[in-house]
């Protein structure tokens, strides 16, 4: 099987998750092509047996590029086995780490016509030293409001890698 994983990342953690998915899927003898969402135009999407899209959240929103890809390729997506996953720090909370409980994924699904066949939500990463001054202050404020880490030197990865690997196996079985 040839599987395309398209991703939209803000700070790079969604790409790291995609690489782990790629490793899991390739261990099951499938071929994976990993492509940033803004480079899909040159791809022959029909050449892939399955399409997976992963997208990060920044300030409560997925990238407009994700919506653009979905809107331009809706009929093709519906023809193939497909999946979508969202990466956000809200998913660090047990009550918000499932597709049916994550507010950002639910909001995203209400905005699109596509109905992904498989869904996942993964907790992201906070890396304050990597952020610009403004982003660091805004994210620290959001974390303060949601009782998350706020120290400006904090780097914490909330991702449940077993959950990522399980999703990789699910993609193989689609």
**Do 111 and 130 sit in the same domain of this protein?**
no
* pLDDT for 41: 86
* Terminal-residue alpha carbon distance, the chain: 11
Q: Which CATH number characterizes residue 63's domain? A: 3.40.50.360
Number of domains in the chain: 2
Between 161-173 and 13-27, two packed helices, what is the crossing angle to 10 degrees?
Answer: 50
Check residue 58 and report its DSSP letter: B
- 116 and 54 in one domain? yes
In angstroms, the CA 85 to CA 67 distance is: 13
pLDDT of residue 58: 86
Task: Judge whether 17 and 164 are in contact, CB under 8 Å.
Answer: yes
Q: Do 148 and 91 form a contact (C-beta atoms < 8 A)?
A: no
| Averaged pLDDT, 108-131 | 96
Q: What average pLDDT does the segment 28-45 reach?
A: 94
Based on the fold, state whether residues 30 and 116 are members of the same structural domain. yes
Q: With contact defined as beta carbons under 8 Å apart, do 54 and 14 qualify?
A: yes
Q: What is the predicted pLDDT for the residue at 160?
A: 97
Q: Are residues 80 and 108 in the same domain?
A: yes
> Residue 59 pLDDT > 90, yes or no?
no
The pLDDT score that the predictor gives to residue 150 is 95
Residue 162 CB burial class (10 angstroms; 0-12, 13-18, ≥19): exposed
Mean pLDDT calculated for residue range 132-147: 92
The answer to whether residues 106 and 25 belong to one domain is yes
**Residue 84 and residue 60 in one domain:** yes
Residues 36 and 115 in one domain: yes
At 30 the pLDDT is 96
Q: Please state, in angstroms and rounded to a whole number, the distance separating the CA atoms of residues 169 and 146.
A: 32
What's the average model confidence in pLDDT over 13-30? Answer: 97
Residue 60 has pLDDT above 90, yes or no: no
Token pair of 95 as six digits:
């009550």
Q: What is the pLDDT of residues 150-172, one digit of tens each?
A: 999 999 999 999 999 999 999 99
**Domain boundaries, position 81:** 2-124+159-173
Place of tokens 């597709």: 99
Residue 161's pLDDT is: 98
Name the one residue in this structure whose structure tokens are 């492509």. Answer: 35
């Amino acid at each position: 099987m040839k599987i395309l994983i398209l991703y939209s990342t803000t700070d790079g953690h969604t790409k790291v998750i995609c690489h782990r998915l790629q490793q899991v899927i390739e261990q099951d003898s499938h071929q994976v092509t990993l492509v940033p969402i803004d480079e899909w135009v040159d791809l022959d999407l029909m050449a892939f047996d399955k399409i997976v899209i992963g997208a990060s959240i920044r300030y409560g929103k997925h990238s407009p590029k994700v919506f653009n890809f979905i809107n331009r390729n809706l009929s093709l997506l519906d023809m193939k086995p497909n999946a979508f996953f969202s990466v956000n720090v809200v998913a660090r909370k047990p009550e918000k780490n499932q597709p049916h409980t994550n507010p950002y994924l639910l909001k995203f699904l209400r905005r699109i016509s596509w109905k992904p066949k498989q869904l996942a939500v993964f907790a992201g990463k906070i890396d304050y030293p990597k952020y610009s001054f403004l982003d660091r202050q805004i994210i620290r404020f959001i974390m303060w409001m949601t009782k998350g880490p706020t120290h400006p030197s904090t780097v914490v990865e909330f991702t449940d890698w077993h959950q990522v690997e399980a999703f990789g196996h699910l993609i193989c079985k689609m």
